[in-house]
Amino acid sequence: MKIAFIASECDPFVKTGGLADVVGSLPLELAASGNKVCVILPYYRSIKSGGFKIDMFFESMCVWMGDKEEWCAVKKLKDSATVEFYFIEFDEYFDREGIYCDNANNDYADNAKRYSFFSRAALQLLKDMDFKPDIVHVHDWQTAPVCAYLKIWDWGENEIADTKSVLTIHNIGYQGVHPADTYNYTGLRWENFVSSKFEAHGAVNFLKGGIYFADIVTTVSPAYAKETLFGEQSYGMGPYLYEKGNKYVGILNGVDYSQWDPSVDRHIPFNFDHSNMSGKAKCKKVLQERFELEVNEKIPLLGVVSRFAHQKGLDILAQTIEAVLNSMEVQIVVLGSGDKELENYYFGLSERMKGKAGCHIGYSNELAHLIEAGSDFFVMPSRYEPCGLNQIYSLRYGTLPIVRNTGGLSDTVEQYDEKTGEGTGFKFDNLTPNSLYDTIGWAVSTYFDRPYHMKKMIKTAMIKDFSWKNSSKKYEEIYRQLSR
Ligand code: ADP
Ligand code: GLC
């Protein structure tokens, strides 16, 4: 089959979170099993200056947006091995410091224009070049409009008119809600600005329109698919997803073990695997040194790598971590950025509790890998978690996850059984500082009092297989079902 991925992020070109990991790895797996796959991305400033070998593909391409024509260019990655990568170049929208927001963490005011344009331009590219996909696979609100453009645009006799769409929701908390006066620019026609399609509470909602027009909607874990059908976890989309019936499914994300496996990881100072863990102890030492913690192999070390967003529950951790550090023999390192209050809090914590708490505000892939490798436990107290990749990486690094029992965290972490030592982590239900305190306490006491159970869990965790092998087959089944 021919499959075109259209997305706003893709590792290694541009990444703010797990979406990039998925778009950076699933296409490779699909291509490896014989499909023809391309990926289309915006040509952001960070890609321009990222040192990639990129050629001009179309010097100018006209993209009709309702009643305005925009002229852009298209670039293509040179020497793509199996998957082809195309970039829509339109400096007015994409040559900016940030991806979705400015340095102060405020969303760009013209995001509706930026991503409706990108969605429309990606289809124009597919129409104009020699790649007529059976399926376009789009991701989150940014490219959800693609599903509508495919269905409502007059594509003439072109084969693209028959292309089917799959919309994957990586995070229902972000829906692309924009003021109604941005709708005209999209060219999505006012008859679709109704509450079953693009309209919600008088505003434009890109995700909602995408859900309506997509041939199949997926999300990134079976548990999250259930959670998003009803109640507050659905962020208002429940009825529309319910309406899709069996055209809404949860498929667990896979991970790319060529990037995230301690036996081959190029970012960590010492490699290791479950049969020889000496490298992990050495990584822990390096990590403790990097964050100026007391260098002591025997003190359990908690790691956090996260966007500082409401979703991630790091405000709850902030309410209990000082009590944890004061009452237990344990250390913590935190890597992340986003919410300014949380940035200040965790930075302040590392100043107040030097030697016990370390913090790096910002984005660092190298540190993310080191934290996975050098920590004993990985903390994710998420309010909701569509899939979550970090806990899956943690499992492979023998870094036992301490997680809220929600979404993909429920699906991927198995609760520790204190009688048998079975399980791969520590889960809690109530998102309160007390529950989190108790669960960290449970993990720390297991570390000190039941080292034989720790050993058993670490081994169980490290040999779990969350590679794309299984999940990419599930996507292929869906594509095939649609293209019949
Ligand atoms: P989400 O997509 O909601 O942020 P995931 O767990 O699915 O959560 O994926 C997060 C990805 O982003 C992981 O690859 C993680 O290592 C990476 N990441 C998050 N914050 C940072 C950071 N500050 N520096 C480096 N990598 C980060
Ligand atoms: C989102 C979700 C995260 C998921 C990732 C990749 O950003 O928050 O849970 O793992 O997308 O699908």
Q: Whose CA is nearest to atom 24 of ligand 1?
A: 363
Give phi and psi for 238, each to the nearest 5. Answer: -50, -55
What is the position in ligand 1's atom list of the atom closest to the CA of 362?
Answer: 23
For residue 268, being part of any structural domain is answered with no
**CB of residue 216 inside a 6 A radius of ligand 1:** no
Tell whether 474 and 446 lie within a shared domain: no
pLDDT of amino acid 126: 97
Tell whether 330 and 376 lie within a shared domain: yes
Write out the residue range of the structural domain in which residue 197 sits.
Answer: 2-254+468-483
Tell whether 71 and 93 lie within a shared domain: yes
pTM higher than 0.85, yes or no?
yes
Q: Closest Cα to residue 135, out of 56, 26, 255, 57?
A: 26
For residue 270, being part of any structural domain is answered with no
For residue 310, being part of any structural domain is answered with yes
- Residue whose tokens read 């899956």: 392
Q: How far is the CA of 475 from the centre of ligand 2 (A)?
A: 17
Tell whether 350 and 224 lie within a shared domain: no
For residue 107, being part of any structural domain is answered with yes
Q: Closest Cα to residue 339, out of 294, 366, 308?
A: 308
Tell whether 374 and 447 lie within a shared domain: yes
Q: Whose CA is nearest to atom 10 of ligand 2?
A: 388
In the chain, the number of structural domains is 2
pLDDT of amino acid 450: 98
Tell whether 205 and 302 lie within a shared domain: no
Tell whether 154 and 199 lie within a shared domain: yes
**CB of residue 408 inside a 6 A radius of ligand 1:** no
pLDDT of amino acid 103: 85
Tell whether 16 and 105 lie within a shared domain: yes
CB 153 within 8 A of CB 121: no
For residue 184, being part of any structural domain is answered with yes
Spans of the chain below 70 pLDDT: none
CA distances in angstroms from 314 to 189, 234, 334, 381, listed in the order given: 41, 21, 10, 7
**CB of residue 307 inside a 6 A radius of ligand 1:** yes
CATH number reported for the structural domain that contains residue 395 in this entry: 3.40.50.2000
Q: How far is the CA of 388 from the centre of ligand 2 (A)?
A: 5
The neighbour count for residue 251, using CB atoms within 10 Å, is 22
pLDDT of amino acid 104: 84
For residue 259, being part of any structural domain is answered with no
For residue 95, being part of any structural domain is answered with yes
